Amino acid sequence: MRRGQVARSAGLGRHWGDEMENGLIDESRDCAALVLAVKAAVAAHPDAMTERVSALLREMEDVFLPLTNIAGRHGEDRSCALFDYGIRKEMFDDRLHPGVDTVKKEHQLPAGRVDRLLEHDDGSFTVVEVKPSGSRRDIAQGLGQAILYAASMRSILNDNRDVRPALFVSSDYDHEIAGACKMAGVAYLCFPRQAQALVDQLAAIHLHGR
- C-alpha to C-alpha distance for 15 and 54, rounded to whole angstroms: 14
- C-alpha to C-alpha distance for 4 and 122, rounded to whole angstroms: 47
pLDDT above 70 as % of the chain: 56
Query: Which of 40-73 are b and which e, b meaning 16 or more Cβ less than 10 Å from the residue's Cβ?
Result: ebbeeeeeeeeeebeebbeebeebbebbbbbbee
pLDDT of residue 199: 62
Helices 13-21 and 51-59: crossing angle in degrees, nearest 10, is: 70
Q: Render pLDDT for 44-86 as a digit per residue (tens, 0 to 9).
A: 766 656 666 666 666 665 666 666 666 666 677 888 888 988 8
Q: Render pLDDT for 125-172 as a digit per residue (tens, 0 to 9).
A: 999 999 987 788 999 999 999 999 999 999 999 888 999 999 999 888
| Whether the Cβ atoms of residue 136 and residue 157 lie closer than 8 Å to each other | no
69, HSE (Cβ side, Cα atoms, 13 Å): 12
- pTM, two decimal places: 0.67
State the chain's mean pLDDT as an integer: 75
Q: What is the DSSP letter of 208?
A: H
- CATH number given to 92-190: 3.40.1350.10
- C-alpha to C-alpha distance for 148 and 159, rounded to whole angstroms: 19
